[in-house]
Structure 1
Amino acid sequence: MLKLNTRTQTPRSLVTERRVQWSLNGFGAVLLVYVVGSAALEVVPDGEDRAMWLGLGVLFSVLGMAVGAALAALSD
């Protein structure tokens, strides 16, 4: 006979304080490594190319933010 499951699972929130913290840490860590690493390797461009270089760093940092959120979601 089929037994019904009467236990209800509590819905988990998609945005928690832990996920926000891990996301911001991932964003900051990747941006820091990108800027400091580029300066150490002396590959920071001059002039108008610097804006594109920093935009690329922000793009990489958004990926770091997504990784941080995924790691926080896995550890919940």
Structure 2
Amino acid sequence: MMFSREEKKEMLSTLLSKAVQKAQELPEAIQDELAEQFIEDIENEIKWQETLSKPQDSLILKELAQKAIADSENGQTEEMGFDDL
């Protein structure tokens, strides 16, 4: 099923509204933590999108990806989860 840009915005708004409503059921301290995390995620996503939109940065990312793949193939990496970082 295909959605128009406006339909996607409306769905996102609905989903975001649902998330906010759920968060409002939590204690204020947890709401604040969630808000801080969400803002940080949004800021990081904006930076990521900006990085991907710059050809010179895309080349750097490609080189880094190739190095990471080579390191992995040569056994120079260690498997980790997000909690291990």
TM-score scaled to structure 2, two decimals? 0.36
Q: What is the TM-score of this pair, normalised by structure 1?
A: 0.40
Higher-Rg structure is 1
- Higher helix proportion: 2
